[in-house]
Amino acid sequence: MGKHPLPKGFLAGGIHCGMKKKRKDLALIFSRKRCKVAALFTTNAAKAAPVIHAQRQLARNGGARAVVINSGNANCMTGARGLKDARKTAGMLAELLGLGKEDVLVSSTGIIGQFLPMKILGEGLPRLVESISSKGLADAADGIMTTDSFRKISSRSFDIGGKKVRLTGIAKGAGMVKPDMATMLSYIMTDAEISREALKKALRSASEVSFNAMTVDGDMSTNDTVMLLANGEAGNRKISEKGKDLELFLKNLSALCRDLAKMIVRDGEGASKFIEVRVKGAKKKADAKRIAGSIADSLLVKCAVLGGDPNWGRIASSAGASGVKFDPGRMEITLDGVTFFRDGKVARNVDRKASSVFKKKNVRIEVNLHSGRENAVYYSCDISKKYITLNSFYTT
Amino acid sequence: MGKHPLPKGFLAGGIHCGMKKKRKDLALIFSRKRCKVAALFTTNAAKAAPVIHAQRQLARNGGARAVVINSGNANCMTGARGLKDARKTAGMLAELLGLGKEDVLVSSTGIIGQFLPMKILGEGLPRLVESISSKGLADAADGIMTTDSFRKISSRSFDIGGKKVRLTGIAKGAGMVKPDMATMLSYIMTDAEISREALKKALRSASEVSFNAMTVDGDMSTNDTVMLLANGEAGNRKISEKGKDLELFLKNLSALCRDLAKMIVRDGEGASKFIEVRVKGAKKKADAKRIAGSIADSLLVKCAVLGGDPNWGRIASSAGASGVKFDPGRMEITLDGVTFFRDGKVARNVDRKASSVFKKKNVRIEVNLHSGRENAVYYSCDISKKYITLNSFYTT
């Protein structure tokens, strides 16, 4: 079953149908039993057709048995025809799988402003259905990638009342080696028996500390989607909206989502270093996260990390620019374990050129506001010339 | 008097005192009569000492006769000693000029986290005072620059009731060729007789369409300052908070501020192209501006402009990511006069490589939402590998 087994009752697969030149471009996730589904979608006003379609389906049904994902074409800015194509894709797949069309969700990622190649898709779907198996997860993970340089899978298992419950997820990143391709997609399967409200609560909560706490270039896609599918086959006592079982489920889901989020950041295009930003001692959690996000998004901070320059002034400035009110004199700034500012004073005058800070593959920025007890973490990466090259001169 | 004469009763000058290696690093603006002063400061929580000092002075007095600006040291994250140094600088200058210390404002720009070199400053101030003249504007403009590649001056004159009124401004940009130097400063002088309320209103309004409608890299400085000084020497009938005279003053002030803002963007570090983003047909002005700002700030859009790629999908996506709700199907996207998306459909399938769009030094992005009558303009520049180099490897 490999390192990351599928939860009970799930099958997956992926094939190359011709939307992309060579790499796999179609993936399928299937469950023997109907799943409850919790999902989060982009808040972009220019939502892609499959996002609108999936939102409507889930508002109506709250569940599904299959998710089909294509890469290479985002089916975005494609108007009424795009929506019709998304419905048609779901319908064709439902027929092939012997399901109702309300049991199929669709997702897309790739270029904006082109219609889905329905003929190619129609020819590919039967082969896609044939490809699914209990060993097909890696192929599915490959099928959703656009310009990711490695596949992203993570899994967890834990006991609830003596029954083993599994969580297994795949993701694709915002590594935009080719233009127009900038979508974060993630699909997480579980065999847990869980109420839909608990499922939604867990996904929202886990995403806050993972997918919603990472940044590659600050751009938000039109197709971003995270889905959590639960088919209940583990036979555990039902996880409800409160209590220890939900806590355990959430703990494992959060760890899994953090795994995937970190992989996405590490695979950020042109990125050479992974950045963890920790903000401590804030009055409110939201403030801590906003400051961490402001530091993580700062181009000047990313450049400092790239250059191995412990430029703490940029970190103070980007924290201050977050919009959160705080006393900068109480700030403590520690980079890779070395404190640069504390008690209102410069703590250390380093020879920045000779410093060991920001020199490794993984760097850590810590800001303590010393004004409360709330913390937050944000994941980011540095920016390199390669990013500029990749996103500017795609034809050469 | 040169191309940009000073308004009546103003003198200016600039010298090299030793805070920077070679270039001028100290500037002075002086008025024979007391000026009413309107000012806008950074909203960064980590405000520099001179910003705090100037805010306090203006809250108390509402006016000044002199502004001294140093470049090379931001006097930021310097705590109580930084504030004392700012006060001391004002006091020394006041004594040299025979003014009360409440009549002097100070500004700083440069590296964060180092104390002002008070000895060097103290030796430089007497020479600075000697340097001022009616012809010293260019020297003052040079004195406030950090890594700007050219000096930024603009002026206007117009008649109010038969009296000639002048507006003359200088600015420095956020061209951060060296790290830690990321401040926008601008000082505008006028000999207009104008009420302080009218002056404040005019500066807020003009800044909205100029300094607050431009972006180089989305980073906000700890020292940003715009000051408008009016000494009333033109002898015009007093401009009040309403009416045609204020409109005329505002029109000229806005044009001057736009001149300076455009110069700052053109001089953005590593920038090769100037981008004007126009958003039309919004329901609210704030919505139009927010969408324009989101497009102007998008790294992917900047990369597309650099690469000469008319990637309209990125523009649709960054407009959608602004947080403003609108119907993407009604959007019209026009790049350098060529319409790519209209009436819910792709208007043109170009060979993007061969297209003439985004190939010139000045590019224009137009988005019409077709849902209202409000417009906004934002100024930006592309991003290049040089930006990354300049901000990462400052020691090499």
pLDDT digits (tens, 9 = 90+) for A253-311: 999 999 999 998 888 877 889 999 999 999 999 999 999 999 998 888 888 899 888 98
Interchain pair B344, A80: CB under 8 A: yes
| Res A124: pLDDT | 97
Planar angle of CA B280, B285, B289, nearest 5 degrees: 75
For residue B217, give the chain A residue with the closest CA.
A299
Between residues 49 and 78 of chain B, which touch chain A (CB distance below 8 Å)?
74, 76-77
pLDDT at B76: 93
What's at A316, amino acid-wise? A
CB B347 within 8 Å of CB B252 = no
Residue B136 in contact with residue B12, Cβ under 8 Å?
Answer: yes
pLDDT of residue B352: 61
Query: Which of A180, A313, A329 has the CB atom closest to B314's CB atom?
Result: A180
pLDDT class for A2, splitting at 50, 70, 90? low
Residues B71-83: tens digit of each pLDDT:
999 999 999 999 9
Rounded Cα distance between B375 and B314, Å, is 21
pLDDT score at A67: 98
Residue A218 has pLDDT above 80, yes or no: no
Residue B230: CB partners within 8 Å, gap ≥ 6? B35, B36, B37, B38, B189, B190, B191, B192, B193, B194, B199
Task: Check CB contact of A44 with chain B, cutoff 8 Å.
Answer: yes
Considering only CA atoms, give the Rg of chain A: 22
Using CA coordinates, name the residue in chain A closest to B394: A307
Spot the catalytic one: B183, B222, B225, B334: B183
Angstrom distance (rounded) from CA B126 to CA A332: 38
Mean pLDDT of B364-384: 94
Q: Do A317 and B341 touch (CB under 8 A)?
A: no
Question: Cβ(B159)–Cβ(B251) under 8 Å?
Answer: no
CA A306 to chain centre: 23
**Given a cut of 70, is residue B27 above it in pLDDT?**
yes
Helix (H, G, I), strand (E, B) or coil at B241: coil
Q: In angstroms, rounded to a whole number, what is the distance separating the alpha carbons of residues A331 and B287?
A: 35
Task: Give the one of A311, A321, A385 whose C-beta lies nearest to B385's C-beta.
Answer: A385
Comparing CB atoms, the residue among A114, A299, A388 nearest residue B219 is A299
Bridge-based pairing state of the strands A332-335 and A362-368: antiparallel
Tell me the residues of chain B between 218 and 257 that have a Cβ less than 8 Å away from chain A. Answer: 218-222
A352 part of contact set with chain B, CB < 8 Å: yes
Interface touch A313/B113, C-beta < 8 Å:
yes
Distance CA A244, CA A229 (A): 21
Active-site position among A42, A78, A147, A183: A183
**Measured between beta carbons, which residues in chain A are less than 8 angstroms from residue B395?**
309, 352-353
A323 to chain B, any CB pair closer than 8 A? The answer is yes
- Put simply, whether A35 touches B (Cβ < 8 Å) is no
Q: Residue A155: pLDDT above 80? A: yes
Instruction: Please indicate whether, in this complex, the C-beta atoms of B222 and A299 are within 8 angstroms of each other.
Output: no
- Tell whether the model's pLDDT for residue B106 goes beyond 50: yes
Q: What is the pLDDT of residue A395?
A: 34
Please state the rounded mean pLDDT for residues A364-386. Answer: 92
Residue B60: what are its φ and ψ, rounded to 5°?
-80, -50
A-facing residues of B in 364-383 (CB < 8 A) are 383
What pLDDT was estimated at residue B354? Answer: 60
Identify which of A326, A345, A392 has the shortest CB distance to residue B79. Answer: A345
From residue B252, give the alpha-carbon distance in Å to each of A137, B209, B245, B387. Answer: 65, 12, 11, 33
Q: Which residues of B touch A180 (CB under 8 A)?
A: 311, 313-314
Looking at residues B85-98, what average pLDDT do you find?
A: 98
Query: Could you identify the residue written with the tokens 């036979």?
Result: A235
pLDDT at B1: 44
Rounded to whole angstroms, how far apart are CA atoms A311 and A295? 12
> Dihedral of CA A208/A210/A211/A212: which sign?
positive
Give the rounded distance of the alpha carbon of A330 from its chain centre. Answer: 34
Radius of gyration of chain B, Cα coordinates, nearest whole angstrom? 22
* Confidence band for B224, pLDDT divided at 50, 70 and 90: confident
DSSP string, A308-321: T---HHHHHHHHHT
Q: In terms of Cα–Cα distance, which of A232, A320, A198, A203 is closest to A7?
A: A232
The CATH architecture annotation of domain B274-392 reads Roll (3.10)
Where are the alpha helices (H) located in chain B, listed in sequence order? 49-61, 79-97, 118-131, 137-143, 196-208, 244-266, 285-297, 299-306, 312-320, 385-392
Q: Which of A319-323, B239-243, B333-337 has the lowest mean pLDDT?
A: A319-323
Q: How far is CA A257 from CA A107, A167, A254, B245, B325, in A?
A: 19, 10, 5, 61, 29
Is-catalytic flag, B222?
no
Of A323 and A389, the one with more pLDDT:
A323
CATH of A10-266, one of 3.60.70.12, 3.50.50.60, 3.40.50.1820, 3.30.565.10: 3.60.70.12
Q: Which of A260, A3, A8 is nearest to A134 (CA)?
A: A8
Residue B354 touches partner A, C-beta closer than 8 Å: no
At a CB cut-off of 8 Å and minimum separation 6, what does A284 contact? A372, A374
Contact check, Cβ <8 Å, A394/B309: yes
* Top-confidence residue, A121 or B265: A121
* pLDDT tier at B134, thresholds 50, 70, 90: very high
Task: Supply the pLDDT for residue B118.
Answer: 98
Chosen from B42, B51, B76, B77 to mutate, greatest number of chain A CBs within 10 A: B77
Confidence of residue B396 (pLDDT cuts 50, 70, 90): very low
Instruction: Using the predicted structure, report yes or no on whether residue B176 has a pLDDT greater than 80.
Output: no
**Is the CB of B79 inside 8 Å of chain A's CB atoms?**
yes
Q: How far apart are CA B229 and CA B380, in angstroms?
A: 28
Average pLDDT of B110-120? 93
Whole-number Å distance between alpha carbons of B98 and B88 = 15
Question: Which structure tokens are listed for A322?
Answer: 């977050």
Instruction: Find, in chain A, the residue whose alpha carbon is nearest to that of B46.
Output: A320
ipTM of model: 0.83
Query: Closest Cα to residue B46, out of A175, A373, A147, A326?
Result: A326
Please indicate whether, in this complex, the C-beta atoms of A394 and B179 are within 8 angstroms of each other.
no
In angstroms, the separation between the Cα of residue B360 and the nearest Cα of chain A is 15
Residue A249 sits at φ, ψ, to 5 deg, of -60, -45
Q: Which residues contact A49 (CB under 8 A, 6 or more apart)?
A: A75, A76, A78, A82, A83, A85, A86, A108
Taking only the tens place, the pLDDT of each residue in B309-355 is: 898 988 998 999 898 999 999 999 999 999 999 998 888 766 665 68
Q: Give whole-number Cα distances, B335 to A31, A182, A296, B351, B360, in Å.
A: 46, 21, 31, 14, 12
B183 vs A: CB within 8 A: no
Size of interface A-B (CB pairs under 8 A): 207
∠ CA A204-A206-A210, rounded to 5°:
115
CA distances from B236 to B6, B158, B188, B193, B202 (A): 17, 11, 18, 6, 17
| Cβ contacts of A316 on chain B, cutoff 8 Å | 46, 76-77, 112-113, 222
Q: Is it the case that residue B33 has pLDDT exceeding 70?
A: yes
pLDDT grade, residue A77 (50/70/90)? very high
- Give the residue on A whose Cα is nearest the Cα of B383: A388
| Residue in this structure with the two tokens 């004199």, named with its chain if needed | A329
Q: B260: distance to nearest CA of chain A, Å? A: 23
> Considering chain B, what percentage of its residues have pLDDT values greater than 70?
93
* Phi, psi (rounded to 5 degrees) for A73: -150, 125
- Nearest residue in chain A measured CA to CA from B42: A321
User: Of B192, B147, B151, B215, which is closest to residue B3 (Cα–Cα)?
Assistant: B151
Distance from A287 to chain B by nearest Cα, in Å? 13
Judged by a CB distance cut-off of 8 A, whether residue A114 touches chain B is yes
Question: What pLDDT is attached to residue B309?
Answer: 87
Q: Which DSSP string do the residues of B129-156 spell out, in sequence order?
A: HHH-BTT-HHHHHHHT-SS-SS-EEEEE
Q: What is the distance in angstroms between the Cα of A166 and the nearest Cα belonging to chain B?
A: 35
Of A45, A304, A306, the CB nearest to B328: A45
What distance in Å separates residue A151's CA from the closest CA in chain B?
Answer: 24
Mean pLDDT of B252-279: 91
Side chain identity at residue B14, one-letter code = G
pLDDT of residue A148: 86
Interface contact B272, partner A, CB < 8 A? no
Is the model more confident about B396 or about B139? B139
Res. B174: pLDDT tops 70:
no
Contact of B345 with chain A, judged by CB distance below 8 Å, is answered with: yes
| Per-residue model confidence (pLDDT) at position B221 | 77
A239 in Cβ contact with A192 (< 8 Å)? yes
Distance CA B78, CA B124 (A): 21
Which of A180, A388, A396 would you mutate first to test chain B, the one with the most B CBs within 10 A? A388
**Do residues A302 and A392 touch, judged by C-beta distance below 8 A?**
no
Mean pLDDT of A318-338: 93
- How far is Cα A35 from Cα B258, in angstroms, rounded to an integer? 57
Task: Indicate the domain borders of chain A.
Answer: 10-266, 274-392
What does the mean pLDDT of chain B come to? Answer: 91
Whether A304 contacts chain B with CB within 8 A: yes
Interchain pair A346, B113: CB under 8 A: yes
pLDDT digits (tens, 9 = 90+) for A226-240: 999 999 999 999 999
> Per-residue pLDDT for A194 more than 70?
yes
* Mean pLDDT rounded to a whole number for chain A: 91
Q: What is the pLDDT of residue B217?
A: 66
- The closest CB to that of A317, out of B221, B328, B392, belongs to B221
